[in-house]
Structure 1
Amino acid sequence: MFKIGDLIVYSGHGICRVDDISDKTYAGITKAYYVLHPIENNQKLTISIPVDNDKIVIVKLMDQEEAETILESFNSAGINWIEKPQLRSQVFNNIVHTGNRMDIAKVANTLLRKKHEIEMASRKFYQQDSRILTTIQNILFKELAISLNTSPDAIIEKIKSMLRSNDKTAVQDIC
C-alpha cells in the first residue's frame, strides 16, 4: 500500500503523487481510494482509484539504483524488431502496459534505433511506433529523471550519447 506523498507511476497518467487515501462510497459500497494528482498537470486533475484495484498497474517510483540499471540497458540491443506493423504495435503496447520498466526500456531502445535507421534511409517512421515511443519518453524518461535527480532532457541526451557510442554511424536527433 502506498502512503500519502509517495510518487507513483500510474500507466494511464504517468507520474502522480498520492495526495490522500480516503474512503468513498459508490453504489452502497465503501472502499479505500488513492487520490492521485499527476505531477505534470497544471489543471489540478484529481484521480481516484480503489486501493484494491488489481486491473490497473500502479507502481512506486523507481529508486536510483534501478534507474541507473535501466539507463545502462541502452548500451545493449533492445528487443527483436517485428516487421508487421500491426503485430509490432500490439506486442509493444502490451509490454508498455505491463509496467515492467526494464522491458519498456528495451522497447524504447529498439524504437529509437529503428527510428534512426529509417530516417537515415529517408523514410518515415511509423506513426504507431512514434506514439509508443512518445508515451515511453513521457513516462519512463521522466521517471528516470526524477530518480536520478536530473532533467528529462539530460536523460534524453545521455541515451543519445549511449546509442551513438554503440552505433557505427552517428545517431542524430533520435529523441
Structure 2
Amino acid sequence: MFKIGDYVAHYKEGVCEVVNIGKIDMGSSDKEYYTLKPVYDAGGTVYTPVDNKRDQIRKLITKEEAENLIKEMPKIDIIGVTNEKQREGMYKNALLHNQCREWISLIKTSYGRNKKRLLAGKKTINVDERYMSSAEKFLYGELAVVMEIPRDKVSGYVKEHLDAELA
C-alpha cells in the first residue's frame, strides 16, 4: 500500500504523486482510491483503486536501480517481431506493462528501425514514432524523478553514461 506523498508509476500517466487516499464521490462504491497527481501534467488528476488488482500503478525504481538500468541498456534486447500488426501489439503491451526494461526495448527497436529506414531513403513509420515517444516520456520521467535531474536532461545523461560505458 502506498501513502500520501509517495511517487508511483502509473501505466498511462507516468510518474504521479499520491495526494489522497480514500473514498471518492462516484456513486455508491465503498472502494478506496488513490488520488494521483501526474508530475508532468499540472492540471491532471487520476483515480485508481487502492486494491490495484490490474497493476495500474507500481513503486518507482530506486536511484541505484536506475543507474544499473542505464549501464545494462546495451544488453537489453530489441523486440524481434517482423510482422507490423504484431509489432504494434508488442509495443502496446510494452507500454501497458509499465516496466522500464520493456520501455527500453521498445525505444531501441523503434530507434533502430527508424535509423535503417532513413539510411535507406525511406520515411519513418508513424507507429514507431508514436510508441517510442510514449516510452521515452515514461522512462525519462521516471529516471528524472529518481535521479533528481530535470526530465529534459535525462536523454543527454543516459547518452553520456552509455558512451562512457562503451568507451
TM-score by length of 2: 0.86
The ranges of structure 1 where at least 4 consecutive aligned residues each deviate by more than 6 angstroms after the TM superposition are none
* Structure 1: runs of 5 or more not aligned: 167-175
Change beyond 3 A, Cα 1:80–1:19 = closer
Q: CA deviation at 1:17?
A: 0.6
Which structure has the higher relative contact order (CA within 8 Å, separation 6+)? 2
Following the alignment from structure 1 to structure 2, what is the Cα–Cα distance between the partners of residues 68 and 114? 26
Question: Does the CA-based 8 Å contact 2:10-2:57 persist in structure 1?
Answer: yes
Following the alignment from structure 1 to structure 2, what is the Cα–Cα distance between the partners of residues 9 and 64? 14
* Structure 2: runs of 5 or more not aligned: none
**Residue type matched to 2:99 in 1?**
N
Following the alignment from structure 1 to structure 2, what is the Cα–Cα distance between the partners of residues 111 and 97? 17
Counterpart of 1:171 in structure 2 is none
Q: CA deviation at 1:109?
A: 1.9
Question: Does the CA-based 8 Å contact 2:7-2:16 persist in structure 1?
Answer: yes
Following the alignment from structure 1 to structure 2, what is the Cα–Cα distance between the partners of residues 32 and 118? 49
Aligned residues: 165
TM-score by length of 1: 0.82
The Cα RMSD (Å) is 2.2
Identity %: 25
**Residue type matched to 1:142 in 2?**
G
Following the alignment from structure 2 to structure 1, what is the Cα–Cα distance between the partners of residues 110 and 71? 16
CA distances 1:130-164 after superposition (whole Å, capped 9, x unpaired)? 1110101111111112212223333212444537x
**Residue type matched to 1:30 in 2?**
D
Counterpart of 1:119 in structure 2 is 118
Question: Does the CA-based 8 Å contact 2:11-2:96 persist in structure 1?
Answer: yes
Change beyond 3 A, Cα 1:4–1:118 = same
